[in-house]
Amino acid sequence: MFVTDTRLTQVHLLPRIAATFQVVIGLLLLTVGAANAQLFETKAQQAFMIDADSGTILIAKNADTSVPPASLAKLMTMEVVFDAIASGKASMNDTFKVSEYAWRTGGAPSRTSTMFAALNSEVRLEDLIQGVIVQSANDGCIIIAEGMAGSETAFSERMNSRAQALGMTRSRFVNSTGLPASGQVVTMRELVTLANHLWRDYPQFYKYYSQPEFTWNKITQRNRNPLLAMGIGADGLGTGFTEESGYAFVGSAARNDRRLFVALGGLTSDKERAEEARRIVEWGMTAFERAPLFAADTVVGRAKVFGGDKPSVELKAKGAVSIFLPQENRGKVVAHVVYNGPLTAPIVKGTPVGSLKVWVDQQLTQETPLFAAEDIGKGTLSQRARSAAEELAFGWLRDFL
Catalytic residues: 71, 74, 136
Note whether 142 and 152 are within 8 A (CB). Answer: yes
Residues 6+ apart with CB under 8 A from 46: 61, 62, 63, 65, 67, 187, 188, 263, 264, 265, 266
Residues 6+ apart with CB under 8 A from 290: 54, 322, 323, 324
Q: Furthest-apart CA pair in the chain: how many Å?
A: 79
Note whether 187 and 43 are within 8 A (CB). Answer: no
Closest to 72 (Cα-Cα) out of 252, 251, 230, 273: 251
Closest to 257 (Cα-Cα) out of 95, 54, 105: 54
What are 301's strand-pairing partners?
315
Closest to 25 (Cα-Cα) out of 39, 34, 12, 10: 12
Count CA atoms within 13 Å of residue 313 on its CB side. Answer: 32
371 phi and psi angles, rounded to 5 deg: -130, 155
C-alpha distances out from residue 188 to 185, 359, 385, Å: 10, 20, 49
Task: Tell me the helix, strand and coil percentages in the chain, rounded to 5.
Answer: 30, 35, 35
- DSSP code of residue 267: E
Residues 6+ apart with CB under 8 A from 165: none
